[in-house]
Chains A and B, each alone.
Chain A
């Protein structure tokens, strides 16, 4: 009896042609693939490693590894999903090398369930982005996401920042779909909780305006 197979998105046809050409030795076809995805790979690598130099290395290593192993790519999934899997593995290896005293894996900290229960419920300012200038906002967002365990951070980045589907994220991270959904929920709730301190609405006296209501949480 077969298990239910995850849905695989339709491969992009011109992309497959590029991959085929690259497999056949056309380096300029591979360069086009690099051009399409280098920004995404860099963002993912920087989010996981939280280090600019490491992210640069990951971009180079991931594309080189993809080029060397093009023969393994069967075209059953999108090239991008396959590339993301390589990049995530390279980024996690960087993290492990940097923190040899701690084993880093996508399974790290999966037991922090209690962190996902909303502790503070407060309305946010109508336009939280406008409370801070661009540089301050990036600093806040970077510092906040850095505090998430890598396993949660990675799922959030792939799903919510890079826009991969749940199925593609599961495939790229070699996780089950329920595991992706569970981590995504907890990542979203933890980030929300952490951003509260910057974005919650205050009255004229600087006091937090808490939500009312009769919820049972």
Chain B
């Protein structure tokens, strides 16, 4: 397997969606190709860092304000009822 082929399969590999034969070929490639090992490892870390980052959390006060605004508008709209299409 070439590095370019490995890269094409990287997302499936990281998501664990592939057949056993392809997985074994990828892992064989990883065992000797240090560049692909590093790319795979740092891509995995990239995903984990974003997943754990709590980037753009909704602060409680803003959350309360937004929910009040949404529900007030829904109440107003309720007078005519949700639109049935």
Contacts and interface: CB of A to CB of B under 8 A. Distances in A.
Main secondary structure of the interface of A (DSSP, over half): helix
Given A121-B39, A160-B51, A188-B11, A43 B33 contact: no
A57 to B, nearest CB: 10
Given A35-B67, A72-B85, A128-B49, A192 B42 contact: yes
Contacts of B78: 25, 27
Nearest to A31: B71
Interface in A174-190: 181, 184-185, 188-189
Contacts of A46: 56
Contacts of A208: none
Contacts of A170: none
A86 to B, nearest CB: 13
Interface in A40-69: 42-43, 46-47, 55-56, 59-60, 63-64, 67-69
A129 to B, nearest CB: 6
B35 A39 contact: no
Nearest to A117: B7
Given A60-B66, A192-B43, A43 B35 contact: no
A213 B30 CA distance: 11
Given A63-B70, A160-B47, A212-B34, A124 B56 contact: no
B77 A67 contact: yes
A138 B50 CA distance: 9
A69 B49 contact: no
A59 B84 contact: no
5 contacts: A38-B58, A43-B55, A129-B49, A189-B10, A216-B4
The 6 A-B residue pairs whose C-beta atoms are closest, nearest first, are A213-B34, A71-B84, A215-B35, A217-B3, A46-B56, A185-B11
